[in-house]
């Protein structure tokens, strides 16, 4: 059957611990029953961005579905930047931070309903040192945790807890100068988070004020580990002790690590150490189907 209504499914065959067969079955059933012409692109890890962009320009799909983790979602968002297409997310990664922020529970049925539904939002992205972040990126403690976890043999919650303890014992605070408009903050820091969204994939809310569509991103600056301020942020409170925690909403920021190179991660992917980070908002980057 020839159909003008096309769907492109991009699937990462190696992501997470998820049986992709169930996802394939559901999508094939759904697209057949609704008369869509379904095309499937399994990522290879090589030149995926260019290939997806070419396919989208050639096929003109109504929707592009992504079955993968945050890395694949971000890849697809970059590939279709500037093209009018709706992205539907079927969470199939190991952490799924973005899906958690979009209110997707992890069930294939719920994700399918949302991905084919009529509710959409245009979300912003943050350009960071030329890379794209849709979710949460940071310099400092958490980036070192991402590095340690990527390098460790163990997986799951126990492995995560073990790497957290190791990270806390290895981490050193750093001196940072943050320039955002006419604001300059110079401080000792444990971590500086560049947050487009609210929650890490673990479900922990780190940026209660976060809104992916408001044309701003937040810098969450934690100056030391403090139980009360951590509890406040987890409870959704935004009234912090500025000696310990500071959150500012900005469109653009320069982060200079003054005394040393600091670990850096973008959306869960370790990027090495940096001394300088430049971040600016890219408003209305991609249209996403949401609950
Ligand atoms: N066929 C493939 N073989 C090997 N690597 C691949 C393949 N397809 C994609 N990749 C790699 O998979 C990574 C992206 O994984 P993705 O983020 O989707 O899943 P994840 O890491 O399991 O999940 P999460 O990001 O939620 O933790 C990229 O580094 C990409 O290069």
Mutational pocket test of ligand 1: of 45, 52, 100, 132, the residue with most ligand atoms within 8 Å of the beta carbon: 45
Report pLDDT for 217. 97
Confidence of residue 234 (pLDDT cuts 50, 70, 90): low
Whether 16 is in the pocket of ligand 1, judged by its Cβ within 6 Å, is yes
Contact status, residue 94 vs residue 69, Cβ threshold 8 Å: yes
Report pLDDT for 248. 93
DSSP E strand stretches across 24-77 = 37-42, 63-68
Whether 207 is in the pocket of ligand 1, judged by its Cβ within 6 Å, is no
pTM: 0.89
The number of the ligand 1 atom at minimal distance from the alpha carbon of 93 is 23
Mean pLDDT, to the nearest integer, of 249-262?
A: 97
Helix (H) or strand (E) holding 25: helix 20-33
pLDDT reading at 82 higher than 60: yes
ipTM: 0.95
Query: What's the CA-to-centroid distance between 220 and ligand 1, angstroms?
Result: 27
Half-sphere exposure (CA, 13 Å, Cβ side) for 15? 24
Whether 51 is in the pocket of ligand 1, judged by its Cβ within 6 Å, is no
Whether 268 is in the pocket of ligand 1, judged by its Cβ within 6 Å, is yes
pLDDT in tens, 185-219: 999 999 999 999 988 777 778 888 889 999 999 99
- Domains of the chain with CATH codes: 6-118 (3.40.50.10330), 131-283 (2.60.200.40)
In this prediction, what percent of the chain has a pLDDT beyond 90?
66
Query: What's the CA-to-centroid distance between 70 and ligand 1, angstroms?
Result: 8
């Amino acid at each position: 059957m020839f159909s003008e209504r096309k769907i492109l499914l991009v699937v990462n065959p190696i992501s997470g611990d998820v049986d992709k067969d169930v996802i394939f079955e559901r999508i094939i059933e759904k697209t057949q029953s609704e008369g869509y012409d379904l095309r499937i692109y399994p990522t290879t890890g090589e030149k995926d961005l260019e290939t997806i962009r070419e396919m989208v320009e050639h096929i003109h799909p109504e929707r592009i579905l992504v079955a993968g983790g945050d890395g694949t979602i971000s890849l697809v968002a970059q590939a279709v930047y500037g093209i009018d297409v709706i992205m539907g997310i079927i969470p199939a990664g190991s952490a799924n931070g973005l899906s958690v922020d979009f209110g997707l529970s992890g069930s294939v049925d719920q994700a399918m309903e949302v991905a084919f539904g009529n509710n959409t939002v245009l979300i912003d992205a943050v350009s960071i040192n030329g890379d794209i972040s849709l979710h949460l990126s940071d310099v400092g403690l958490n980036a070192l945790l991402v590095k340690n976890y990527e390098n460790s043999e163990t997986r799951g919650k126990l492995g995560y807890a073990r790497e957290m303890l190791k990270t806390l014992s290895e981490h050193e605070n750093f001196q940072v100068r943050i320039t955002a408009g006419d604001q300059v903050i110079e401080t000792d820091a444990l971590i500086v988070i560049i947050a487009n969204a609210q929650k890490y994939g673990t479900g922990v809310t780190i940026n209660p004020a976060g809104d992916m569509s408001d044309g701003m991103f937040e810098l969450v600056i934690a100056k030391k580990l403090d139980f009360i301020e951590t509890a406040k942020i987890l409870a959704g409170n935004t009234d912090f002790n500025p000696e310990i925690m500071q959150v500012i909403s900005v469109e653009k920021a320069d982060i200079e690590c003054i005394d040393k190179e600091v670990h850096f991660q973008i959306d869960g992917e370790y990027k090495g150490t940096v001394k300088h980070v430049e971040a600016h908002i890219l408003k209305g980057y991609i249209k996403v189907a949401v609950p």
